[in-house]
């Protein structure tokens, strides 16, 4: 009961911050997401690289923050997209830093440093493409809708898994996450579809209802895979939680693991169909 209360209060604080960032002002959105990129990259690099290659880790984290910031300024404030060419230059500095390391296994950990940019910074940077209109007007409702579907999928999977998947359920991926079941997955899918339908019906976003349902399916599938991928990462490195910033939940990487795969797929779908 105490742990449930802790998780609930922690989740409520996170929800208030997220809603404030998306519905109040673009600066609040930028501050929250830059902080999230910083924290999540730190968590990821602590798990995969540890204390090694400090200079390369710092350069990668700065590059990750700048990736989000450049997408933010280009999407919402008219900065020339050519400024994104700064990013490959910064990535090359990671290799320069590796040249000066005295550690024998430097190139074993370097791929994880580079992956942190693709896995965390880029998906968060891409959200700028759906919170800003082509004219640069800020509207966080689409991103809020994406997160509502992710949260609905998580809640549905948890409740359905507890009700139908605990004793005689069919394991979804037992080698990675023994507690997850197909019963839980389909419960999450059903609630995600319900959330997508409500989002379309109540016009939270200006998409036709069928696009909302397709997005619900895509988000459900990708967020589930993202959750499993992060579970495999932690299992591989012998880590229970990515961090402790959210009492009862773990780290931000534990909370956004599904979103890291759902964000790019959502942005791609919205851009392809001109939504």
pLDDT score recorded for residue 6: 62
The Cα-based distances of 97 to 37, 47, 103, 160 in angstroms read 21, 20, 12, 48
pLDDT at 3 over 60: no
Closest CA to 245 of 258, 260, 256: 256
The total domain count for the chain is: 2
183 and 227 inside one domain? yes
pLDDT category at 247 given cuts 50, 70, 90 is low
pLDDT at 102 over 80: no
232-239 average pLDDT score: 89
DSSP H helical segments within 80-175, as ranges? 86-99, 106-116, 122-126, 128-131, 141-160
- Report pLDDT for 7: 63
Q: Which of 104, 137, 170 is the last residue of a domain?
A: 137
- Token couple for 75: 């999407």
51 shares a domain with 91: yes
**Domain match, 129 and 228 both:** no
Q: Are residues 89 and 217 in the same domain?
A: no
215 and 92 in a single domain? The answer is no
- The range of the structural domain enclosing residue 258 comes to 139-275
**Predicted local confidence at residue 115, as pLDDT:** 94
- Per-residue pLDDT of 186-207, as tens digits, reads 888 999 999 999 999 898 898 8
pLDDT tops 70 at residue 227: yes
Q: Distance between CA 100 and CA 18 in Å, rounded? A: 40
**Is residue 121 located within the same domain as residue 211?**
no
Domain boundary among 90, 118, 137: 137
Q: Which of the four pLDDT bands, split at 50, 70 and 90, describes residue 47?
A: very high
Residue 14 lies in a domain: no
Check pLDDT > 80 for residue 221.
yes
216 in a structural domain: yes
Higher per-residue pLDDT: 220 or 100: 220
* pLDDT of 9 higher than 80: no
Residue 106 lies in a domain: yes
- Regarding whether 181 and 90 lie in a shared domain, the answer is no
Does the pLDDT value for residue 1 go beyond 60?
no
């Amino acid at each position: 009961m105490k742990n449930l209360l802790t998780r609930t209060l922690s989740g409520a604080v996170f929800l208030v911050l997220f809603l404030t960032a998306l519905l109040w002002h673009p600066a609040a959105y930028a501050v929250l997401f830059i902080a999230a990129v910083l924290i999540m990259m730190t968590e990821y690099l602590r798990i995969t690289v540890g204390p090694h290659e400090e200079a390369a880790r710092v350069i990668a984290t700065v590059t990750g923050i700048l990736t989000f910031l450049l997408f933010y300024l280009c999407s919402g404030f008219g900065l020339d997209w050519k400024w994104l060419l700064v990013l490959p230059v910064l990535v090359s500095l990671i290799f320069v830093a590796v040249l000066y390391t005295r550690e024998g296994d430097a190139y074993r950990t370097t791929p994880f440093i580079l992956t942190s940019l693709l896995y965390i910074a880029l998906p968060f940077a891409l959200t700028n493409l759906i919170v800003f209109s082509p004219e640069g007007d800020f509207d966080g409702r689409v991103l809020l809708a994406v997160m509502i579907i992710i949260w609905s999928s998580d809640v549905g999977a948890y409740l359905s898994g507890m009700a139908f998947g605990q004793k005689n359920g069919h394991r979804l991926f037992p080698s990675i996450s023994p507690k997850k079941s197909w019963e839980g997955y389909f419960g999450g899918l059903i609630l995600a579809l319900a959330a997508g339908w409500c989002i379309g019906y109540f016009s939270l976003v200006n998409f036709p209802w069928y696009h909302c349902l397709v997005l619900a399916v895509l988000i459900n599938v990708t967020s589930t895979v993202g959750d499993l991928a992060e579970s495999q990462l932690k299992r591989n490195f012998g880590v229970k939680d990515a961090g402790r910033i959210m009492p009862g939940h773990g780290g931000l990487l534990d909370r956004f693991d599904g979103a890291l795969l759902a964000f790019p797929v959502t942005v791609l779908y919205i851009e392809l169909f001109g939504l």
